[in-house]
Structure 1
């Protein structure tokens, strides 16, 4: 897999959120013109993108803010059992410390608690800027 794409309205807030998760901004640019629209099927488009890279360098998230054409659908507050993209799950070394970094950015737990799965993981889902759903998992072994 090369990357996962997420469409956002506030690109800077999304970059800040994923940076707080430990990803690094690899680049930010404008993608536009007929060639891009031929790939997506949207025709002539203008999209500001930012590529975020995981700490190990193997995973990437492409954040996209469409300038043209307008975004036509909004799934940001869909429940976790909605059809389609659900969430990205990130392994973290210290879940409490990660949550402490994310809370000042407006991040909220989806549930009211961090859950322990047997003696293997501490897990939770959070909603970041614009309702982006992210899972966090801390291995206990």
Structure 2
């Protein structure tokens, strides 16, 4: 086997504090925070003069991680803000939740917006897409018992 696991997904944000708070409210746990930079980081990522603040959050089971990054230098470039769900590239991150309506209520307090409607998928799940900080699309799935 060549792959052991998927370690994390990196997301570049402008407001690291708000993005971290959003994912903590969702139920992820803060694994750590750091500042990185220097020649080794420059060579690794192919940029010059990197200074980056980051926060790593993980799912409660410890298997999924997001690395939230705020570049102090060089300045982050922008992608299309609020891109639709069918735009090329990584479009969403899906999380399994226990009480989808409670999660929606809590995340709305952090600026999340429902993109469509809360839908029932056959007899298996209730699903919705929300747009969180920085335009990040999060899908929520609640298994129907």
Q: TM-score, normalising length from structure 2?
A: 0.93
The answer for the alignment partner of 1:139 in structure 2 is: 143
The offset of 1:43, in angstroms, is: 2.2
Q: Does 1:43 align with 2:48?
A: yes
Query: For this pair of structures, how many residues does the alignment match?
Result: 140
Q: Distance in 1 between matches of 2:123 and 2:81?
A: 32
Counterpart selection for 2:83 from 78, 90, 105: 78
Deviations 1:26-73 (A, max 9, x none): 111101111111111112200000000101111100000000001122
The offset of 1:74, in angstroms, is: 2.1
Contact 1:76 1:132 in 2 (8 A): no
What SS class does the counterpart of residue 109 from structure 2 fall into?
A: helix
Contact 1:121 1:140 in 2 (8 A): yes
Q: Does 1:59 align with 2:64?
A: yes
Q: Does 1:26 align with 2:31?
A: yes
The answer for the alignment partner of 2:3 in structure 1 is: none
The answer for the alignment partner of 1:8 in structure 2 is: 13
What SS class does the counterpart of residue 105 from structure 1 fall into?
A: coil
Q: Distance in 2 between matches of 1:123 and 1:50?
A: 27
Q: TM-score, normalising length from structure 1?
A: 0.96
Q: Distance in 2 between matches of 1:130 and 1:39?
A: 25
Counterpart selection for 2:124 from 98, 120, 129: 120
CA RMSD of aligned residues (A): 0.9
Give runs of ≥4 in structure 1 deviating > 3 Å.
none
Structure 2, unaligned runs of 5 or more: 1-5
Structure 1, unaligned runs of 5 or more: none
The answer for the alignment partner of 1:90 in structure 2 is: 95
